[in-house]
A and B are shown apart, each in its own frame.
Chain A
Amino acid sequence: QLQLQESGPGLVRPSGTLSLTCAISNSSIGSGNWWSWVRQPPGKGLEWIGDIFHTGSTNYNPSLNGRVVLSVDKSKNQFSLNLTSLTAADTAVYFCARRRVQRKIPCMDVWGQGTMVTVSS
């Protein structure tokens, strides 16, 4: 069954760039699904960051003001998130997920376990 695993640095500096990767197991990134990122600040709710198709097509949350770029690496069967101009407000658990269409409705049906990222000097 499909498994997703996030990886990346646990601590990043303010004004720096965060790079995270989501490795896909037991499925192909080109399987026809979109792939999503969601984050959750400590003690707060969920925020959708964006999603990407294997062709490179993307959708982004406009509240991130153009700071986010998603990409795919078909050779490694993984997708990535880059978030620039970091502030303490970007401190969060970052989740990757599969976006799937069921009964014509998109939803996120498989999630990674999440990775905690702290922005601090």
Chain B
Amino acid sequence: DIQMTQSPSSLSASVGDRVTITCRASQSIRNYLNWYQQKLGKAPKLLIYAASTVQSGVPSRFSGSGSGTDFTLTISSLQPEDFATYYCQQSYGVWWTFGQGTKVEIK
């Protein structure tokens, strides 16, 4: 199966900071990469699909990039409602896998 590795596992940041989360696949997945945001006690929410396309209704401060094995999620100016855990997920293979998650906390 395809392993997904995120870094860092957690980070502390302040409102207004630029935040970058990386995700690496164990083999090329082209652009079959999605990003989700999950707040405590809630279901995941799709943020980005196809590595770089922002889901309808998601603020433009969220962006994604990458292809092949290396991907990035960027929040251009962190807002209070962005403190959450973020997961990457590959949909290239028949069975899908998630990264272990990156928890974004308030500094």
Contact = CB atoms under 8 A, between A and B. Distances in A.
| Interface SS, A side | strand
B102 to A, nearest CB: 10
Given A48-B96, A111-B43, A112-B43, A106 B91 contact: yes
Nearest to A59: B94
B98 interface: yes
Interface residues of B, number: 27
A107 B1 contact: no
Contacts, number: 67
Nearest to A46: B98
A109 B55 contact: yes
Contact of B34 (A60, A61, A107): A107
Interface string A4-35: 00000000000000000000000000000000
A89 to B, nearest CB: 17
B98 A105 contact: no
A44 to B, nearest CB: 9
A64 B53 CA distance: 32
B100 interface: yes
Contacts of A102: 49-50, 53
Contacts of B34: 105, 107-108
Given A102-B53, A104-B50, A111-B43, A62 B32 contact: no
B43 A107 contact: no
A114 B97 CA distance: 19
A29 B55 CA distance: 22
A103 B55 CA distance: 11
A61 B1 CA distance: 10
Nearest to A113: B43
B46 interface: yes
Interface string B1-29: 10000000000000000000000000000
7 contacts: A38-B44, A46-B38, A46-B98, A105-B50, A107-B49, A113-B42, A114-B43
